[in-house]
Structure 1
């Protein structure tokens, strides 16, 4: 089987595309007005072979300096995505690899005072054949969908001088075809976003309003996306969840998800 240590790096990058991106020697500089680290960070070369080709051993220092200069020109803090460390994913043959695609990158950033933030798990699960949707999945995010997600997860982002932060979020989400589940409960709403990528369904933007939690709404949103993805040929689902988010992890584990990898960010001082 194909031993592809950068599988989830690429899936996540494709499913959450930064409107602004520059590729140089295998390094991808992503920017989206500071809205989400995922869309405003450096993605290193895909694997160790490409890394060695793109930046010879010992040249990590130069790569970091180029990235810092790029983000300084945008008025953004330099952030690196470090991962994914895959730990054996059924059917895709991903072997266990250490965190960070480029040898020495994480250590170099640590020595420069970059903080490690948002340790995140990649979790995967087979899509159940009997998933029953609890509602419709729309091809575009409605204003209500956006407001719900923004209140739960997005509102920490600030507007820049030209573009509102929510507009940046909309541009990211609609940069690829996706499905948007929006369910109303008795006390609030739950939303989620699905992206079909071949046999994979990427699950994003899972958010339930606080007053509507612990009533099964998150599970219903998830299963609605499962059914939608299965109809479009997906066989497995993946998602990213921060390690401290015990509530979400518990839901995902109950729905059959297991840990397939980890990543984190390094943020400039």
Structure 2
């Protein structure tokens, strides 16, 4: 029997085999997001910033500065904990850009490019996985605050709504840092620029003090700072007196961040890959 005769049945069988359908965009994003979750499980040190940082900030500001600022550490805890919750979760979002830049430097996204999947799936999956970090940060802040005597006047649903609002804002802000991670040359540069942008957003706000004592030029910035609106909205929800205006401004800020930086980030990602 000739070789040609043997090849014909093999070719016939090969042509009859149907290729599996490529995964949907949602399925591919969730799968690659689970990959990022597995990285956290194997390297738990990645959660140190969202577990130890809120503890340090709460203890330091309440017991070192609380008496000097408000005269009563218990009263200051009620004021500052929602602000530290916002600061911790928002600052955790900058890890997205550092992680993306590191993966690009290692050539991991070159491997994803060869897969028959939705091209931005790796990017969206990384952003979704980082939401777990935000949840951990929020839970740690609330747990430490409750142990120290923080008692929100609002109900459980109000506290959950406040945390969800913070998570949505952090997810929206992570698109900015993802864009930096895709456009800058090194993870160190991403971290430096991200921290430079983060400090005026978090410290030049109403997180730690009432802005009424600030000079006019600084208060003008605090009044338009989206983090200030978010902190006010979270304080209102946790105190049982939500302010619709501040909640609306916080959600508008989220929409603007996603509308501007999501297309820029996806475009930068396609150029990289």
Structure 1 length-normalised TM? 0.28
State the structure with more CA Rg: 2
Point out the structure with the larger strand share: 1
Point out the structure with the larger helix share: 2
